[in-house]
Amino acid sequence: MNISKFVMPEIIFGLGSLSQIGDSTLRLGASKVFVVSDEGVINAGWVEKALHYLKGAGLGTEVFYSLTTNPKDFEVEQGVQKYLESGCDAIVAVGGGSPTDVAKAIAILATNGSRLQGYEGINKISHPLPPMVMVPSTAGAGSEVSQFAIIVDTQRKLKMSIISKSLVPDIAIVDPELLITKDAKLAAATGMDALTHGIESYVSLAATPLTDIHALNAIRLISRNLREAVQNRRDMVANTNMAMASLSAGIAFSNAILGATHAMTHQVDGLLDEHHGEANASILPHVMEFNLPACPERFREIAEAMGKVGKQMPLMEGAALAIEAVREIIADIGLDKGLAELGLENQFIPTLSRNALNDACLITNPRNASIEDIEGIFRKAL
């Protein structure tokens, strides 16, 4: 087995664990905390609760929430300016993948300077970042444990993948109670993102025995709980299992990286500004069909984790059932839409495909993909 690294933050998991945010941030040496969130999370009351616990630990606070579903470079720049003016010495994110990614990007520019585009790619951060504590309010992005930050470059209209072990937060606080304020559509989209993380990290060229454990755990939990989590938003068993699934998928993809689905959805997100999970739902089955010949054993194991295949089924027949199982979940949670229904026009496919070739996630896809291959997948996904 090749030498590999496996990184993850300290994790505090469980109902009511948001109450740990003050003491957790304090022991990282903070005195004043820059809290990054969004309007939806603020309206749900979670930021107010977080501020209560932070102030109870004797910490000063500053709140920044001027960001959108697919966070953009200029939003990060506004956050950096506010951070530098605030006198804060630690960063906390309360929310889904958007606040978490913005918090990480603010941390980069506040300590390393320059423009965010200069950090696109792998391992381009040279100076240490402020202490970071992340509290997810969705079960999907996994950013609270990952070495990724994904931000839209508004000039190029694509999502930049910034990957560095410096971006792994110090502490992740995963409180499933925060999930109950999401609506069904957001639960479906974020759950689909987590499933895509689990599948892509399991077939990744950089997968290891440690990432495999977390990827398969995520796939199993999502297969058994996502439908119920979407149908009944107050089912705390389903919500807790989805929170654990998202966490496991985040740990897996942070260390194994991802594949062609994310290389492609990053481009769609930058162009259309739709929810990332919806784009994943449109593209993932087609990427799985493309990748199947390269790793049928892995796909068969995915089908088995999803409860679709027995031990005696022939390899290729069992492997194909993984794609069928994914399509069934997508239909059951109401995300069976083509990219055209999301707003993608055929004329944009060549540009999106060229940009996808430069996305770092494509490096670990299990099958080499040419620009013609990617264009073909995009057209099938329309």
- Classify residue 17: in a domain, yes or no: yes
> Do 254 and 355 sit in the same domain of this protein?
yes
DSSP structure class, residue 124:
-
- Which phi and psi angles does 147 have, rounded to 5°? -100, 25
> Do 112 and 188 sit in the same domain of this protein?
no
Helices (H) and strands (E) in the chain, counts: 15, 9
Domain residue limits at 164:
10-178
State the helix-helix crossing angle for 276-291 and 260-272, rounded to 10 degrees: 150
Give the tens place of pLDDT for each residue, 309-365. 767 789 999 999 999 999 999 999 999 999 999 999 999 999 999 999 999 999 999
pLDDT at 1: 52
- Nearest by Cα to 136 from 255, 256, 307, 250: 250
Number of Cα atoms under 13 Å in the Cβ half of residue 372: 0
> Do 251 and 308 sit in the same domain of this protein?
yes
CATH of the domain at 349: 1.20.1090.10
Give the tens place of pLDDT for each residue, 195-215. 999 999 999 999 999 999 999
- Classify residue 1: in a domain, yes or no: no
> Do 200 and 272 sit in the same domain of this protein?
yes
Whether residue 275 has pLDDT greater than 80: yes
Which of 129, 148, 178 is at the close of a domain?
Answer: 178
- Nearest by Cα to 131 from 90, 174, 187: 90
> Do 14 and 158 sit in the same domain of this protein?
yes
> Do 114 and 236 sit in the same domain of this protein?
no
> Do 374 and 271 sit in the same domain of this protein?
yes
CATH of the domain at 88: 3.40.50.1970
Cα distance between residue 199 and residue 63, in whole Å: 35
On whether the CB atoms of residues 381 and 287 are closer than 8 A, the answer is: no
Quote the pTM value: 0.94
